Amino acid sequence: MEAGGGSGGEEQDISDPQRKKKRYHRHSPRQIQELETIFKECPHPDEKQRLQLSRDLGLEPRQIKFWFQNRRTQMKTQHERADNMALRSENDKIRCENIAIREALKHVICPSCGGPPVEDSYFDEQKLRMENARLKEELDRVSSLAAKYIGRPISRLPSIQPLTSSLDLSVGSFGNQTTGPTLDLDLLPGSSSSVPTLPIQAMGISDMDKSLMLEIAGNAMDELIRLLQSGEPLWIKSTTDGREILNIETYERLFPRPNNLKNPDVRVEASRDSGVVIMNGLALVDMFLDSGKWIELFPTIVTDARTIEILSPGISENRSGSLQLMYEVMQVLTPLVPTREFYFLRYCQQIEQGLWAIADVSFDFSRENQFVSPSLTRKRPSGCLIQDMPNGYCKVTWVEHVEIEEKTTTHRLYRDLINSCVAFGAERWLTTLQRMCERFACLMVTGTSPRDLGGVIPSTDGRRSMMKLAQRMINIFCASISASNSGQRWTTLSGMNDVGVRVTVHKSTDPGQPNGVVLSATTSIWLPVSSQNVFNFFKDERTRPQWDVLAEGNSVQEVAHIANGSDPGNSISVLRSINASQNNMLILQESCTDSSGSLVVYAPVDLQSINVAMSGEDPSYIPLLPSGFTICPDGRPDQGGASTSSNLQGSMTRSGGSLVTVAFQILVSSLPSAKLNLESVTTINNLISTTVHQIKTALNCPGS
């Protein structure tokens, strides 16, 4: 090796055999043997170790550095060559199998009719779906035309069971009942993240609509500023939890509305909260005005968001005057609570230097277009005031004000949580924002935190890569239990309680997720234990064997830890099962908590993928299939009836109960065209039922 070759920390070129030969002739056999021995033990020596080797072997420090760099490159090249040969061999094997299968299919005879098999049935089904959708659109168009002439639309035909590739399974064997409804799991083809076209996008926005939007946004901004700056009697403290809620009578006197007829089915939710956020004001405004970043800020609340049209871009320096029409779907992390869908205007205005107001207000398209269904939820002027602080943080005051038309009664488990303005209230938005901004701040830290488990993750890039991988895991998990009507259909399997185990299935083809048919199952339960104690129980690796059915009683050890917030509960862990049969599989887990609720989400990841992420490489294509728990307070006033478990560590204070949603996902088949089978449904049903039983037993509340 030439000591002067290369510059900085760049790897030396070893592709030329002559150069490699010359370089190694410069070292004695003893030196090379010593270096090879040390390389096997420590392929990445630090500067202190390189200096020690330099003294022991009589070589220059740069020679030691470049030798290790080139040796690592050699090993990487050898491994890649071996992997390529193995993949090429596997590819040839699969190609031969495909040829054999095609030849065999040519001679298959249908046992029913004796004829040849029907080919491309999947695509025939797709054609029928498209034809069915086209005929429905045609029927709607003809019906609307008829309504103009005869005063009423043509009566619709009786509903026909759609053609699906679903599997009809009786649920009698899963519950106590002997008969029951059939299990209709629709295997939707295509990508699991396909984005449908919204009706408003298809029909466009007229100039008259735009003028009306400008006026509505301006009025909403004026109302929001008054709501943000007013105190009592417009805002009053809740007697149960001290939250600020809107005095509806005072509000209607201050903001009278024409033709404001009372609808008995309409319920108003209005709350206000304020707090300090670790981000400067302009950066926060930019994220609020970007629908993609809006989802990143609130992954546990916003399941879908899109900017339909930018009506005014505003001033580029401070975004003042920006007005855009947006679409948003909000959720509580359980299938028991329907999602809320909004078309709304978002208007940003800089009031003074370092002070912004962002107003949201619904815009109802259903009055102008018959193909847009009237929304059951409406945003009255809502939004936030963002004020810069000298330390680079900002103070945010949040107002959330919506009207909900309740066509169906909220499930009893979540009724108190919804009615108390906790589930979709200002506090949940603000605490989630604070927690996520802390996470972003940790992502940008160049060093390591003293709370991190050092020595495992070698670099800052590796730490960031692991945090991005964990965040994608959270996003996939939240999407998997959404109750969105447009996303997936849930079917109740068993009668474990009045909630039952609900399942849904979809074909996953997204990068970063296992390719095939994914079966998701979830259930929600109430526990007479505080949400904080339940969170601590799930987060602590020492108590994991008490609830993790798949751990088979084996203990787990935390081998890597990343702190991503001021609360010790906000962290990312890599867990390894002790005495497990599969030593190459690890568990990636992220836990996060704030006053509105908590999450504990985990996914099995193989050792090679973890090493890829820890080395700082792009983790986007590492497949994840997460499962986990959502925990939130039950919203009921504490009556001293909640119990605690002696198994939990730390202080045990009596507090309200908690609502826990348990969610699992399993890969039914790695083939996207595979069909769901009864065995997979039975497996996940038993898995979730056993897990719930073990949770209740461990927390000493089996009868809840």
H, E, C per residue of 219-256: HHHHHHHHHHHCCCCCEEECCCCCCEEECHHHHHHHCC
Q: Residues 319-377: pLDDT tens digits?
A: 999 999 999 999 999 888 888 888 999 999 999 999 999 999 998 765 555 444 555 78
The answer to which of 2-16, 290-304, 636-650 has the lowest mean pLDDT is 2-16
Angle at 195 between CA 194 and CA 200, to 5 degrees: 160
Q: Residues 73-110: pLDDT tens digits?
A: 888 888 888 888 888 888 888 878 778 787 777 666 66
Dist. CA 164–CA 485, nearest whole Å: 17
What residue type is assigned to position 425 of the chain? G
**Interstrand relation of 394-405 and 502-508 (parallel, antiparallel or unpaired):** unpaired
pLDDT at 241: 73
Confidence of residue 581 (pLDDT cuts 50, 70, 90): low
The H helix count followed by the E strand count for the chain is: 16, 21
pLDDT over threshold 90, residue 662: yes
The tokens describing 259, both together, are: 């033709």
Confidence of residue 506 (pLDDT cuts 50, 70, 90): confident
Query: What is the rounded average pLDDT for all residues in the chain?
Result: 77
CA neighbor of 201 nearest in space, from 376, 359, 343: 343
pLDDT at 204: 66
Dist. CA 46–CA 542, nearest whole Å: 34
| Domains of the chain, first to last | 208-441 (3.30.530.20), 461-636+656-699 (3.30.530.20)
Q: What is the mean pLDDT of residues 575-603?
A: 86
The tokens describing 453, both together, are: 């488990």
pLDDT at 496: 57
First to last CA, the chain: 72
pLDDT at 531: 92
Confidence of residue 126 (pLDDT cuts 50, 70, 90): low
Confidence of residue 201 (pLDDT cuts 50, 70, 90): low
pLDDT over threshold 60, residue 310: yes
The residue with tokens 């470049």 is 66
* CB hemisphere CA count around 572 (13 angstroms): 23
The residue ranking higher by pLDDT, 237 or 386, is: 386
pLDDT at 134: 74
SS3 content of the chain, % helix, strand, coil (to 5): 35, 25, 40
What residue type is assigned to position 477 of the chain? F
pLDDT over threshold 60, residue 674: no
Q: Residues 28-78: pLDDT tens digits?
A: 777 787 788 888 778 888 888 888 887 877 788 888 888 888 888 888 888
CA neighbor of 220 nearest in space, from 362, 56, 374, 373: 362
Confidence of residue 402 (pLDDT cuts 50, 70, 90): very high
Confidence of residue 655 (pLDDT cuts 50, 70, 90): low
The residue with tokens 């560590």 is 649
Dist. CA 469–CA 471, nearest whole Å: 5
pLDDT at 672: 55
Confidence of residue 549 (pLDDT cuts 50, 70, 90): confident
The residue ranking higher by pLDDT, 106 or 159, is: 106
The answer to which of 63-67, 543-547, 561-565 has the lowest mean pLDDT is 63-67
pLDDT at 566: 86
309 secondary structure, DSSP code: E
Burial of 614 (C-beta count, 10 Å sphere; 0-12/13-18/19+): buried
